[in-house]
Structure 1
Amino acid sequence: MTVKELFDAGAHKYDGNRRKVIYCFDDFYGTLLDLIPFDRADRFSFLDLGAGTGLVSALIRKRFPNAEAHLLDISEKMLEKARERFSGEGAVKFYARDYARETLPDRFPLIVSAMSIHHLSDTEKQQLMQRIFNALTPAGCFIHAELALGTTPDTEACYQRYWRRHLESTDIEKAELEAIYKRMACDRPATLEYQLAWMRAAGFVDVDCYFKRYNFTVYAGKKPDKT
């Protein structure tokens, strides 16, 4: 099964289990929101890469009600759920695309991604980072809430042990837990050090990690203001 097929199949239960799957949900997504360099009343557009059912975009628009959201995902089933979530809202656009191979729409002052890019190979991640940089307007910001691989096999085993212990302590149904493990088997995260280095190599400045708990990280960087 491809990543697209796995997420198409899991779309109907994805949102309901998100808080259970991500043991640091509030700090993880809260840090992403806190890093957005705009005031509540500002009007700006943003691109959500691997937007899925629109969870991150919904959180952003709740805090920044004048923001225009552009949601891009490879899974049509996930975007169907996103369209349901934003039904009747005019400032939301959807793109069913493979961001690893297809062009990114337009240019934006803000690009975000959460729990998606780790499905790519390391080479694809590096190439995408450059394309994200190119798709930002001057002084634009990229904020990434993402998985990190442990720096050694032992640290990675620690990450996985903690995560699985947490998952099995929840009330997630057995069949759905098996589906989650199947999706996790497609994960190809890179170490945090590599991810930050790829951002710097792409041209980002002020690159830093602002949150990390075991394998969950939030980091960001900005494009220099050349004007």
Structure 2
Amino acid sequence: MKVRDKFDQYASNYDESRKQLIPCFNEFYGTITKIIPFSSASNLSILDLGAGTGLLTGKIIKKFPNAQITAIDISSQMIEIAKSRLKEYESINYQVADYSHNFPSKKFDLIVSSLSIHHLADECKIKLFRQIKKSLNENGVFINADQVLGESREIEKIYHRNWLEEVKANGVTEKALSEALDRMKEDKMASLPNQLNWLRDQGFSEVVCWYKNYRFAVYSGTNKLKT
């Protein structure tokens, strides 16, 4: 089953267990909006890659109400939920597409993604980072909040064990856990050091990891013109 099909399948109850399946939910998503280096009154052009049900898009539009946001996702079911969730905002443009093959052609001040890019193979991640760099305005920023692979087999085991212990302690249902584990079969995670290096290789400046809690990390890079 393709990634799109699995997310279409689970779209209707995807949000119900988010806080249970992401033990560090508040800090993880909160970090994203905290590190956006623009005034909240700015007329920003923003792209949300793998926007899903609009969770991150919603947090950003509330903090940056003058922004124009393009929310793109491969799952039509997810996008329909996002439209319903954010129906009061007319400045959001929704696109159902595979951004790894159909990347928007315009330029953006900010490109964000959350829990999406880890579905791409490593060579596709690198290609995507290259495209993101080209699609950012000068001093534009890319922020990715995602799951990362342990740097060794033992570290990966600890990541997975800790995650299972925490989500069960949070009271996740067997159904929600089973669905999450099924979706995780499509994961193609890469280590955090590799991803930061890939950004640098594509010419990003100020590449930094702002937050990390075991598997969950938030990092960014800036498109600064070299002088």
Per the normalisation by structure 1, the TM-score is 0.96
Question: Shift of residue 73 of structure 1?
Answer: 0.5
Q: Provide the rounded CA distance (Å) in 1 between the counterparts of 2:23 and 2:104.
A: 31
The letter for the 1-side match of 2:166 is: H
| Most deviating of 73-82 and 12-21 | 12-21
CA deviations on 1:111-153 (whole Å, 9 max, x unpaired) are 0000000001000000000001111111100011011111100
> What percentage of aligned pairs have identical amino acids?
40
- What residue number does 2:54 align with? 54
CA deviations on 1:185-214 (whole Å, 9 max, x unpaired) are 211110001000110111100101111110
Say if 2:23 and 2:170, in contact at 8 Å, map to a contact too: no
Find the residue that maps to 1:217 and give its secondary structure.
Answer: strand
Q: Provide the rounded CA distance (Å) in 1 between the counterparts of 2:105 and 2:164.
A: 37
Q: Provide the rounded CA distance (Å) in 2 between the counterparts of 1:175 and 1:14.
A: 11
Find the residue that maps to 1:100 and give its secondary structure.
Answer: coil
**RMSD value, Cα:** 1.3
| Structure 1 residue 106 corresponds to structure 2 residue 144 | no
Structure 2 gap segments, 5+ residues each: none
| Structure 1 residue 85 corresponds to structure 2 residue 98 | no
Question: Shift of residue 171 of structure 1?
Answer: 3.0
Find the residue that maps to 1:26 and give its secondary structure.
Answer: helix
| Most deviating of 108-117 and 58-67 | 58-67
CA deviations on 1:71-130 (whole Å, 9 max, x unpaired) are 000000000101111214210101111011123241101000000000010000000000
Question: Shift of residue 226 of structure 1?
Answer: 6.4
The letter for the 2-side match of 1:56 is: L
- What residue number does 1:212 align with? 212
The letter for the 2-side match of 1:183 is: R
Alignment of 1:25-40 (within 5 A): 25-40=25-40
- What residue number does 1:16 align with? 16
- What residue number does 2:186 align with? 186
- Sort the Cα spacing of 1:154 and 1:218 in 2 relative to 1 into closer, same or farther, 3 A: same
Q: Provide the rounded CA distance (Å) in 2 between the counterparts of 1:41 and 1:85.
A: 23
Q: Provide the rounded CA distance (Å) in 1 between the counterparts of 2:166 and 2:10.
A: 20
Alignment of 1:32-181 (within 5 A): 32-181=32-181
| Most deviating of 10-19 and 137-146 | 10-19
CA deviations on 1:46-82 (whole Å, 9 max, x unpaired) are 0000000010010011111111211000000000101
Find the residue that maps to 1:168 and give its secondary structure.
Answer: helix
The letter for the 1-side match of 2:170 is: T
Q: Provide the rounded CA distance (Å) in 1 between the counterparts of 2:136 and 2:226.
A: 12
Q: Provide the rounded CA distance (Å) in 1 between the counterparts of 2:105 and 2:49.
A: 11
Say if 1:138 and 1:226, in contact at 8 Å, map to a contact too: no
Say if 1:108 and 1:137, in contact at 8 Å, map to a contact too: yes
CA deviations on 1:7-58 (whole Å, 9 max, x unpaired) are 1111111112111111111111111111111112221120000000010010
Number of equivalences: 227
The letter for the 2-side match of 1:131 is: Q
Find the residue that maps to 2:104 and give its secondary structure.
Answer: coil
Per the normalisation by structure 2, the TM-score is 0.96
